[in-house]
Structure 1
Amino acid sequence: MSFTGRCACGAVTATISASEPVAVRQCWCRQCQQAAAGGPTNNAVFPVEAVDVAGALGSFAYVAPSGNTLTQFFCPACGTGVMAQSSGRMHLRTVRLGFLDSGHGLEPDTVIWTDDAPAWAQVDQRAHHYAGQPPAPGQTASTPA
């Protein structure tokens, strides 16, 4: 199985050749809340070589609470969030689930930066939770909720 994605206007598309993501996470850090209009971002993490993006991307970068520089990529025409990349994990791309085409079947199994979530946040109790920065995808040290 592979994955495909497109922004709202169709100017940016992607084909992801990986059969499954390295991780699927929901992030409640403050920067993700800003990017997601107050809610969390929902993301699938793939090896960088599996993600082939076509179309022009806009970007902005900042130092995240983890201490790494996080670069967010988006469609400059419609504003759809496409993916992110951390300077601490250059071998991975974090693709927004909303960018992926319908029917991808992915669901976050880990929720990160829960200490930054607002009091009204609905955090999936079936998922593993991290108060802040989690281990790198593929490593396990999580505590089920």
Structure 2
Amino acid sequence: MTLTGHCLCKATTYSVDVDAPLLTGYDHCDDCQRQSGSTYSLVTVVPKDKLTVNGPLKKWEGKGSSGNSVWRWFCGDCGSPIAHDPDAAPEIIAIKAGTLDTEIKKNLKPDTEIWTVSKLPFCQETLAHPFKHMPE
């Protein structure tokens, strides 16, 4: 299975050559809330070496709770968030699942919640695998 997606203006596209994502879940961290402009960010975590990106990609460096950098990837034209890339876990990358092609994202089955310590109190949905921070 190849995961494919694009930004809002379609200038930045990507593909991930994997059988399945490592996990799909809700990321409740404050930074993801701010980047998404919503209560959480739906992410699909994949091996970074399987990701290919084409188009005007920009990156912004923030700091994670580990003190290491977390790189926020976004389209250089429309600003759509594409992924976040934590230096603390260099082998993985979290694709912003809302940017996946429509038929792919319709079939996602979120199974994990991370950073529930930052979960907003009115978000009642809880999945089978909640983690207060990043899973170990």
TM-score (norm 1): 0.86
Contact 1:66 1:133 in 2 (8 A): no
The residue correspondences of 1:108-127 to structure 2 (distance < 5 A) are 108-123=110-125, 125-127=126-128
- Alpha-carbon distance, 1:127 to partner: 2.6
- Alpha-carbon distance, 1:107 to partner: 2.5
Counterpart-to-counterpart distance in 2, 1:57 and 1:109: 29
The two structures, once aligned, show a CA RMSD in angstroms of 1.3
Alignment match of 1:107 (pick from 106, 109, 123):
109
- Alpha-carbon distance, 1:26 to partner: 1.1
TM-score (norm 2): 0.91
Q: Give 3-state SS (helix, strand or coil) of 1:98's partner.
A: helix
- Alpha-carbon distance, 1:7 to partner: 0.7
Structure 1: runs of 5 or more not aligned? 136-145
Residue in 2 that maps onto 1:142: none
- Alpha-carbon distance, 1:122 to partner: 3.3
The amino acid of 2:128's aligned partner reads A
Q: Give 3-state SS (helix, strand or coil) of 1:70's partner.
A: strand
Counterpart-to-counterpart distance in 2, 1:6 and 1:38: 19
The residue correspondences of 1:28-107 to structure 2 (distance < 5 A) are 28-104=28-104, 105-107=107-109
Contact 2:113 2:127 in 1 (8 A): no
Counterpart-to-counterpart distance in 2, 1:62 and 1:6: 23
Which protein is richer in helix relative to its size?
2
The count of residues paired between Structure 1 and Structure 2 equals: 134
The share of aligned pairs that are identical, in percent, is 28
- Alpha-carbon distance, 1:119 to partner: 1.2
Contact 2:66 2:88 in 1 (8 A): no
The amino acid of 1:7's aligned partner reads C
| Structure 1 segments (4+ residues) deviating >6 Å | none
Q: Give 3-state SS (helix, strand or coil) of 1:103's partner.
A: helix
Counterpart-to-counterpart distance in 2, 1:118 and 1:127: 18
